[in-house]
Structure 1
């Protein structure tokens, strides 16, 4: 991959990051608070691509001017002119074909003892003839190539442009144990029913506060559906610390007026009441509270599918 291709890929990757950060696409990968960093990363990549092209353009123009200005045998700036066969300071003049002291005279093209005569520019046995300034095999003339590992830059570009995987869903939740942890405290809940709660908020109050603040309240909770191996339905929300790589599920088991047919990854808005019934996660044996469902309806996937408040 040459520098031009690298610059093009850097530009595409930067533009893709800017597109993701200016839409909801970035929320599939990182939490909303990291949006400024995604924008900054995209801008830096585009600036790097532009700087690389500008630098290569200047270097090419400088090389063209330098080749035109330097004639054969003309000394470079800061270098003394050396004429052919002229001795340097402190070095005795050696005429062509004149042997040094103690050395036998060797005529031009005369082979040494036991050595075959080699004419100028004649290739040795097993070696291809290489003319002056001719590029070697696999090397482009006057255009050095960068390492092939540079092609790995295409992977994130293709992943973001062509694939754009969805947010983590039922498969990840079914194969990962609940990440429910004890909250630092339980703030007072607002008055009025139905009370809208997050999955993690309900689960934390139901397990670690024994549902004291939930009793007698009509609750409304939104999440996506996942099923375990026995067919038990769960309402799940993936909690996020930083990015999708550290996402973990928090689960609520559903009982009561549950729809007879539930498809995994379907987002539901569930209305129900607290019940002291609990179960254990079959993956990590973590606690999972139940919710007694009184009604439900499918809803669209929220613009931010992750719960960023579950561990606060």
Structure 2
């Protein structure tokens, strides 16, 4: 592949990184805190590509003059190298969906970690918004003491349990989508039955002492007693 072709591919790839990082698209790939690093990487790639293209065109012009003076034909690189642009264009034009129920069904639930100290009070309001991972940790390791007596609001997507019953799930990232693992919470009460997988729902409920096991990796799974629920749009940041 010629240096010019490499530079064009790098320019497009850098442009794709900038497009993703300057919009909410980057949240499909990495954690929210990595945005500044993506922007910096995209700017560097675009700058390097533009510099390389400028030097390549300048060198090509001098080479053509020399070849004309000597009466020789120029050497052309195989054009098949330009096909490498196709996957970069795909990255520019096609936005992949966020990980959902299929990934949750293939991976075992994240092991909710106990807190090193007492759990802080829940946010004010009724119902109190609680992240799925925080709920599971409080339910499993605090025996629901910090949850009891409060009405809770949890948001996630529907994923079917092995017995077909719906579970509430969300993908937890350590760094990027490649290492995403689900946190799953079982549901009792007014569960959203017959709701298609990957449907995002917001449930209002209370702590349930019931527990289960994730058959994929045999970790404990917390449950929540659902009082009501409604379908919602996928959040801007679908990951936890």
Which residue number corresponds to residue 145 of structure 2? 212
1:301 and 2:213 aligned: no
Which residue of 1 is the match for residue 74 of structure 2?
142
Deviation at 1:148, TM superposition (A): 6.4
Q: Paired residue for 1:285?
A: 218
1:149 Cα offset (Å): 6.9
* 1:191 positional shift: 4.3
**Larger-Rg structure:** 1
Q: Deviation at 1:146?
A: 7.1
SS in 1 for 2:40: helix
CA distance in 1, matches of 2:123, 2:4: 60
State how many pairs are aligned.
238
User: What does residue range 92-241 of structure 1 map to in structure 2 within 5 Å?
Assistant: 141-145=73-77, 151-152=83-84, 154-155=86-87, 157-185=88-116, 186-241=119-174
Change (3 A) 1:65 1:143: closer
Matched, 1:16 2:50: no
Instruction: Give the counterpart of 2:191 among 258, 275, 283.
Output: 258
Q: Quote the residue 2:32 is aligned against.
A: 32
Structure ranking higher in helix proportion: 2
Structure 2 residues without counterparts, runs of 5 or longer: none
- 1:49 is matched with which residue? 49
Which of 191, 207, 210 matches 1:274? 207
Residues 35-44 or 243-252, more deviating: 35-44
**Contact 2:12 2:89 (C-alpha < 8 Å) held by counterparts:** no
1:222 positional shift: 0.6
More strand by share: 2
Once the 2 structures are TM-superposed, how far is the Cα of residue 260 of structure 1 from its aligned partner?
3.1
Q: CA deviation at 1:56?
A: 1.6
Aligned counterparts of 1:51 and 1:190: Cα–Cα separation in 2: 51
1:106-147 per-position Cα deviation (integer Å, ceiling 9, x unaligned): xxxxxxxxxxxxxxxxxxxxxxxxxx95xxxxxxx4235279
Offset of 1:204 from its aligned partner? 0.3
Cα deviation, residue 196, structure 1:
1.0
Shift of 1:39: 1.3
Q: 1:13 Cα shift?
A: 1.5
Further displaced range: 159-168 or 23-32: 159-168
Q: Which runs of 5+ in 1 are unaligned?
A: 72-131, 134-140, 308-312
Q: CA deviation at 1:64?
A: 5.0
CA distance in 2 between counterparts of 1:280 and 1:149 reads 51
Q: Deviations for 1:178-221, whole angstroms, at most 9, x for unmatched residues?
A: 11232334223244421110000110000011111111111111
CA deviations on 1:69-111 (whole Å, 9 max, x unpaired) are 8x8xxxxxxxxxxxxxxxxxxxxxxxxxxxxxxxxxxxxxxxx
Q: Indicate the SS of the match to 1:306.
A: coil
Cα distance, 1:167–1:215 mapped onto 2, change above 3 Å: same
Superposition deviation, residue 176 in structure 1 = 0.6
Q: How does the TM-score come out when normalised to structure 1?
A: 0.70
Secondary structure at the aligned position of 1:62 is classed as: helix
> Larger deviation: 58-67 or 44-53?
58-67
Structure 1 residue 67 displacement after superposition: 6.0
Alignment check: 8 A CA contact 2:8 2:53 kept: no
Deviation of residue 68 (structure 1)? 7.5
Contact kept? 1:234, 1:252, Cα under 8 Å: yes
Which structure is higher in RCO with an 8 Å CA cutoff and minimum separation 6? 2
The 1-side partners of 2:122 and 2:233 are apart by 26
